[in-house]
Structure 1
Amino acid sequence: MKLGGLSILRDISLRVDKGEIVCVLGANGVGKTTLMRTLSGIYHPAKGSIILDGQPIHRLPAHAIVRLGLAQAPEGRQIFPTMTVEENLILGGIQQGKHSRERERVLSLFPLLKERLKQKAGSLSGGEQQMLCIGRALMGRPRILLLDEPSLGLAPRLVQQIFELLQHIRRQGIAILLVEQNARAALKISHRAYVVEGGRISLSGAAADLAGDERVRRAYLGERRAETSRGDMLSPTAASSYRRSSVSSR
């Protein structure tokens, strides 16, 4: 993936299957948000392909990808603040032509939003805005939900609520690809995980295994020893060499 002539992502390969949560970990600036925007069609890869249920989607516009069942809740929430909660939700389902039918399902997940349907979205608390952002993405009834930093700026109590909701969404059969700085919470609810460094995948595996990996614990879980040197960190040179990124809802 290139932006402005610079290669941001290289040799990325990942998989998301139906009904599972997969998290992507990495420091700021390594390409996690670029990855999400590429999967959702905002950017297009210079090489390789993105496959959704056997169909290449990497040259499709974002609105066509939404119709195929892949929706994104972006970093920073990016709701429409001057519109009501209800209007934001309606916009989320407009590509699929699903309004009232999906609205009740979303509001059952987020009862606080039901109490604030006529309220301007910009007047909601940070946690409520994040719920609206996720609810808006769910209005199209996606098979795969892309979540970019859903816990950003939220109090610990609200973070716990958001992550509990993600598990409930997953149990409905919706696959979730999660980019999250709160590595401990993300690994706890995920089935599998990928670590991105320098635009490449440097480590991947079962989330429980990565949570117990000493390198991950030091780099991302705040358990770094005082004597840890740069050489103890995950190395980009250990990146796996792949050519295809795939998203699957099998």
Structure 2
Amino acid sequence: MKNIVITGTSRGIGFELAKMFAEKGHQVLALSRNTNPLDSFNHKNITTISVDLSNASDISKAINFVNNNWKKVDVLINNAGKLINKPFTELTSNDFLEVYKINVFAVAEITKNLIPFLQKGSHVVTISSMGGIQGSLKFPGLAAYSSAKGAVITLSELLAEEYKEQQIAFNVLALGAVQTEMLEEAFPGYIAPNSANEMANYIYNFSLTGNQFYNGKVLQVSSTTP
């Protein structure tokens, strides 16, 4: 049984991951603004905390729970994401800030605050996007989103180096299109090759075993060629 922290658990991949870990006997701390979906699922292994990841004081609620109840975290999955699809000339500085707050700053903040609870063998998995991979196919309208997803790739590479002596692994999964509510909102009518459940199953296995083989790596999880 491991202690798992997952962000962005109200829907999509994060929701499926939380259920999957809980049903396999792991303890899950599920962080999202909307806790109703997992509260309704009502599994004894899932603790939900309503957290606005762009708010540092909100993140402290999660840290306090870990400190008071777990003392250690085996896996952190930085899954929460925000996507704004707009032509570049229509993107405002605030649009960029809102996207970076969730996709970059929150990843750094929650990871930083959980470092004291990460031990030898712990694994931090950050969910990025194929859009953040240099040389991959890019889509108009995603200047803020894809550049943010590129930023967390570099951040994870740096953290892997900084904490290699403690033997804490940091890896990134750069996902291709997955059929989630966020994708549907950004690209109405687009049909992705993978479901949220299928991708959650892949991430579940990688988060538990991938740190045996990878550290500071970016794995491209996409069935299409960039």
Task: Identify the structure with the greater strand proportion.
Answer: 2
User: If you compute each CA radius of gyration, which structure gives the higher value, 1 or 2?
Assistant: 1
What's the TM-score, normalizing by structure 2? 0.31
Normalized per residue, the structure richer in helix is 2
Larger relative CO (CA 8 A, sep 6+): 1 or 2?
1
Q: Which TM-score applies when normalising by structure 1?
A: 0.29
